[in-house]
Amino acid sequence: MTDRNLVVRTAQGAVRGSLHDDHAVFLGVPYAAPPVGAARFAAPRPHDPWEGVLNATEGGPTAPQAPRRLGALEMTAYFGSGWVRGPDYLTVNVWTPRTTRPGAPVMVFVHGGGFVAGSNRASLYDGSRFARDGVVLVTVNYRLGIPGFLDLPGAPRNRGLLDVLQALRWVRENVAAFGGDPGNVTLFGQSAGATIAGAVLADPAARGLLSRVIVQSGNGRGAFTPEQAARVTARAAAELGAAPHAEAFARITDDRLVEIMPGLSGIDLRTATAGDPLLGLSPFSLVLDRQPADAVAAGQGAHADLLIGTNAEEGHLYLAPFGTLGTSTAADLEATAALFHPDPARYVASFRRGRPGATAGELRSALMAEALFVAGSRDLADAHAAHPGSRTFRYEFAWRSPALGGHLGAAHAVEVPFVFDVTDQPGLRGPDALLGAGTPPAGLAARTHAAWIAFATTGDPGWAPYERGAGPLMRIAEQWETAPARPATPSPSTA
């Protein structure tokens, strides 16, 4: 690639990108065949070669999905504009430095959205600052909802996860043509994308595809059991009036699959051996016989460096935009605990002891954070750090967004604009936007962004490695400080 000719030849064909002051970008580049018809419920396969030069100067289609909102909080920058129709949506966007020097570190990002929403077209995932700073940044679309994660007889499990693995194979095969080093690939994701990234770390199929993994507010224990997934499948089949089998679902349109999504809410996923790891927030997750944290404890993923962390007030995202942070009662708190704990009153009491003076809403937020992200991230970190030679780093992002009258705080997703160094985007600023009104602390985005790049480049984000069951972790806010890890609240299975 040169400034005069922005055409890159991939294994499937040539693509033409667009040139900017300090980077080039290629949008909507296919990494797998279009998931149409019966292929929606099959493993991904490589895209057929194309003739001529594919125009990669505009964003491509996105996975079928319903509009997504979070109460009073404006989240378009995070979720994107929704379903952009077109069959060829298993694509990557690639930002690359404006240079002819090969061997740049590669970072591959997997978006969040509860396994049912989001895309690489969302403005928050603009990779231009990564490319400016010498990284080849790749963002991935993957199948969502029923095509991506419904556990169907006759279909492979976790098709959205299989898509991400296929994208990593595409990166290994093609990223050198964009100036990247296929031997230095970091997979990172946030929320559902982070849970996927953790599962990739634990998957033997990922060997040789990556060197490092970053898990931003994921859950190493966030997978559904097959029994839980079967309940979602039964409800989906009933809503559609179809047999619960891939052959029957393959005859149903994408529009209809999206249309029934509201009917999949409220399913009780509690079983004799497992609570709902997503607290009813989504009917979809990975479906695994063994949780990623347990697979890593058994030795998977020890070859890759791991950077993992959560935000200080994760649960605020699910309460503050709906006005329930301040109105939650003790009954609400116990009802939330009952979603995943066999003795909710005892579990709530354990939270009260560790947070004297907290309101019911603050306790509910902390409880949600522990169940959704913190406990599973801690277990994954401990599992990884237990292996000799593995390098594990932890963080807690603690800067408090002033959005929603100061109630949003250090909620889930607040760290993402700082990682991408895009806190100046207009869609992120305002009283009801993710970063609130005003200006975030000077230098916080640059320093956070630089730490992620340092980890991807060298395996060291700039602070001491984490030791199993103890600190240190880096607390990221206006001031960065090394701190001991927060003492563990008794886990849902033991409290």
Residue in 313, 314, 396, 415 annotated catalytic: 314
CB atoms within 10 A of CB 422: 22
CB atoms within 10 A of CB 346: 12
What lies within 8 Å, CB to CB, of 340 at 6+ separation is: 270, 275, 276, 277, 279, 371, 492
Q: Are 284 and 115 spatial neighbours (Cβ–Cβ below 8 Å)?
A: yes
Residue in 47, 111, 128, 191 annotated catalytic: 191
**Residue 265, class by beta-carbon neighbours within 10 Å (0-12 exposed, 13-18 middle, 19+ buried)?**
exposed
- At residue 146's C-alpha, the angle toward residues 140 and 148, to 5°, is 30
The amino acid that residue 327 corresponds to is T
The kind and range of the H/E element at 456 are helix 444-458
Phi, psi of 411 (to 5 degrees): -80, 170
Q: Quick one: which of 464, 412, 419, 476 has its CA closest to 445?
A: 419
Q: Is 328 marked active-site?
A: no
Strand partners, 310: 396
Residue in 401, 412, 415, 449 annotated catalytic: 412
Q: Is 314 marked active-site?
A: yes
> What is the 3-state composition of the chain as percent helix, strand, coil, each rounded to the nearest 5?
35, 15, 50
Q: Is 412 marked active-site?
A: yes
| Residue whose structure tokens are 């930002």 | 95
Catalytic residue annotation? 191, 314, 412
